[in-house]
Amino acid sequence: MTYQTLRGLTRCARDAGGRLLTGLGILILLQNLAPAGLALATALLIGRVQHAVPSDLVAATTVPLIVFALVLGIGHAADAALEPLVYLGAFRIDGAYRARITELAATSPTVDRLEDPESQRLVRAARADPVNWTERTPGTGVMALIHIAAVFAGAVASCAVLAGFAWWLVPLIFLPALAQWCILARRHQSFMHNWRASRREMQRGNVWERTAADPGTSKDIRVYGLGDWIADSIQTHIRTAFEPIWAKLTAKDEWQVFLLVGLPFSVALAVVGHDAATGRTTVAVESAVLAAGWSIFQSLGWTDTTISVTSAGECLAAYEELRQVLEPAAVPAAVLAPDAAAAAPRELPDRVPLIAFEGLGFRYPGTERTVLHSVDLEIKPGELLALVGLNGAGKSTLIKLLSMLYTPTSGRITADGLDIASYGHEAWRSRISVVFQDFVKYELSAAQNVLLGRGNLAPDFEELELAAEEAGFGEVLSRLPAGWDTPLARTRTGGVDLSGGQWQQVVLTRALYALRKGAKLLVLDEPTAHLDVRTEFEVFQRLAERRGEASIVLISHRLSTVRYADRIVLLDGGRITDSGTHEELLARGGEYARMFAIQAERFQAGYDDHIEEGELL
């Protein structure tokens, strides 16, 4: 339990709300003071019974009985009330905590840091969504901390009861109980570490388990007769993971309880019993010692809470590290906007800008490979520009730079002559819309799926309808059982799964909605890969109609589509190697012409229906 953990958990605790925490604290305290209270109430009752005259007995015990019932009742009440409150407290904390991670990860200015495997590891470590008992959340950690404090407060109260008989009973019982607590806590921790040490093997076993039940892989498994091999391999991984854990799961240390609990407790009870019999103390005190002593051993015998604190601490440490990596402050302003570091973000004029890439170069941080070498390119206002090139040619990187998702290593991108960095991430991105190849399929309603194309603006249902109409989304929409409100995931109530082509139409609607809400540049990264030939052509024509209101950049492998662009740019090995209209490029007889000719020829001979990027080489 480090200082860092304590500080982190204390900070998280605030999310539960002051009133809840206070109430919770009081109730847990009451719950843990109840044993000491009961011991006293019992002593009171027995004292009265022992010393009362039989005829007065009933009258003399009325008050102690009521006290006893009250203490017992309060204990029960605290018990009952705590369950929902602890739940609420823990989950309020976790809810706020997870939302912090979500926001942190989803709003950091660039995406390169999030792509880093180390960041992804941190996200997994920090996410507070336990997959096994060794992982605990900050909420659980806070509750455990409160619980530990209350347990010790209760033990102190019980010790006070013991001291009423003799001071030496306190060290006699409390010290071994504390030792027992420490030993159990250590044992729990080491069990947790044993588990974690096997996590890799468990993961491997898990991967095979999922492979065995995967619909796609199931066919390979059957054709090649791999079923038994895989079942055996799952067993091997499980055995390798668990045998060391089981080997340490022995009962050989359990006897210690007789030394740490049995011995001191026996001594205490023997002495107290003897003294009560010889009149050195009363039976009332004897029964109080009995109850209080045992409650100390019992309350300090449960140590699962220490795992919660440790594990929650690890979670928070990962979050802290992640924050350092992702938070904007970690990026020096000079890197963000070299020529406008000091200046306030400039206003973007409300028109389609002239975008220029000026000597743009990019290399992934920490690698030698240069992805882009000094690219110079203009996107004229209202132009439909097609970008073609081999895999790894740098097309996606170019788009990421244009979206300010990466920061250029050299050169810059300007809009109407000004570095886009000077407008700031948010302002610039409000002017662009990108359909990525791996677009997001939200398990939300159809409407939300479109509206999240501009999630920072208030939903505009009028524009939503218009965008749908424009994208030809109507047909898909009419087949959704609850129209716009239909969740686009079968796992949701009333939800449906869409096909690849249908999703692509959702995403086109999303992009067109963004255009209607002020985007002036639309980038499409292979927008029609899942569409059949007929639909593809329709979609393309609709987009072509939009040029003028916005510039459009199209990345496609189908040269049959690309040919209709205003200008075609060839990207090869991070450099622009050719540029012009389809006709110009054909006339120039360069690489594009050669490829198109080969392609068309092959097709006419009964060959390919679409050109892949690889053919451009």
Q: Which of residues 446-465 bind other proteins (CB under 8 A)?
A: 448, 452-457
Quick check: 563 binds other proteins (CB under 8 A)?
Answer: yes
* Shortest distance in whole angstroms from residue 587 CB to other proteins: 12
Structure tokens at 4: 């860092």
Q: Can you tell me which of 224, 329, 342, 417 binds other proteins, judged by CB under 8 A?
A: 224
* CB nearer to other proteins: pick between 184 and 356: 184
Tell me, residue by residue from 365 to 394, as one string, x for binding to other proteins by CB under 8 A and - for no binding.
-------------------------xx---
472: left (phi over 0), alpha (psi -120 to 50) or beta: left
Q: What are phi and psi of 551, to 5 degrees?
A: -85, 145
- Cα(12)–Cα(93) distance, rounded to whole angstroms? 6
* Shortest distance in whole angstroms from residue 2 CB to other proteins: 26
What single letter denotes the amino acid at residue 498?
A: L
Burial class of residue 96, CB neighbours in 10 A (0-12, 13-18, 19+): middle
Instruction: Tell me the longest C-alpha to C-alpha distance in the chain.
Output: 123
Q: Calculate the CA dihedral of residues 303, 305, 311, 313 and round it to 10 degrees.
A: -120
Q: Cβ distance 569 to 579 under 8 Å?
A: yes
The piece of 15-23, 208-216, 348-356, 566-574 that touches other proteins (CB under 8 A) is: 208-216
Q: Cβ distance 549 to 459 under 8 Å?
A: no
Quick check: 57 binds other proteins (CB under 8 A)?
Answer: yes
Q: Can you tell me which of 21, 276, 379, 539 binds other proteins, judged by CB under 8 A?
A: 276
Q: Can you tell me which of 6, 29, 226, 496 binds other proteins, judged by CB under 8 A?
A: 226
Quick check: 236 binds other proteins (CB under 8 A)?
Answer: no
Tell me, residue by residue from 418 to 437, as one string, x for binding to other proteins by CB under 8 A and - for no binding.
-------xx--xx-xxx-x-
DSSP run (H or E) holding 372: strand 370-379
DSSP state of 347: P
DSSP run (H or E) holding 438: none
Quick check: 594 binds other proteins (CB under 8 A)?
Answer: no
Q: How many residues bind other proteins (CB under 8 A)?
A: 169
Q: Cβ distance 5 to 316 under 8 Å?
A: yes
Q: Which of residues 83-122 bind other proteins (CB under 8 A)?
A: 83-84, 87-88, 91-92, 94-96, 98-99, 101-103, 105-107, 109, 111, 114-115, 117, 119-120
Structure tokens at 273: 């019993």
Quick check: 561 binds other proteins (CB under 8 A)?
Answer: yes
Q: What is the DSSP string of 310-329?
A: HHHHHHHHHHHHHHHHHSGG
* Shortest distance in whole angstroms from residue 144 CB to other proteins: 19
Q: Which of residues 399-418 bind other proteins (CB under 8 A)?
A: 400, 403, 405
Quick check: 588 binds other proteins (CB under 8 A)?
Answer: no
- Cα(528)–Cα(539) distance, rounded to whole angstroms? 8
Quick check: 395 binds other proteins (CB under 8 A)?
Answer: no
* CB nearer to other proteins: pick between 160 and 207: 207
* CB nearer to other proteins: pick between 6 and 212: 212
Quick check: 481 binds other proteins (CB under 8 A)?
Answer: no
Q: Cβ distance 398 to 410 under 8 Å?
A: no
* CB nearer to other proteins: pick between 11 and 219: 219
* CB nearer to other proteins: pick between 478 and 491: 491
Q: What are phi and psi of 452, to 5 degrees?
A: -70, 0
Quick check: 147 binds other proteins (CB under 8 A)?
Answer: no
Tell me, residue by residue from 288 to 327, as one string, x for binding to other proteins by CB under 8 A and - for no binding.
--x---x--xx--x--------------------------
Quick check: 514 binds other proteins (CB under 8 A)?
Answer: yes
Task: Collect all residues with Cβ–Cβ distance below 8 Å to 115 and sequence separation of at least 6.
Answer: none
Q: Which of residues 245-264 bind other proteins (CB under 8 A)?
A: 246, 249, 251, 254-255, 257-258, 261-262
- Cα(360)–Cα(376) distance, rounded to whole angstroms? 7
Tell me, residue by residue from 517 to 556, as one string, x for binding to other proteins by CB under 8 A and - for no binding.
---------------xxx--x-------------------
| CA 602 to mean position of chain CA atoms | 49
Q: Which of residues 484-513 bind other proteins (CB under 8 A)?
A: 489-493, 499, 510
* Shortest distance in whole angstroms from residue 187 CB to other proteins: 10
Quick check: 478 binds other proteins (CB under 8 A)?
Answer: no
Quick check: 4 binds other proteins (CB under 8 A)?
Answer: no
Q: What are phi and psi of 386, to 5 degrees?
A: -105, 140
Q: What is the CA radius of gyration of the chain?
A: 35
Q: Which of 183, 167, 162 is CA-nearest to residue 296?
A: 162
Quick check: 608 binds other proteins (CB under 8 A)?
Answer: yes
- CA geometry: angle 553, 558, 564, nearest 5 deg: 55
Residues making up the chain, counted from first to last? 617
* CB nearer to other proteins: pick between 306 and 560: 560
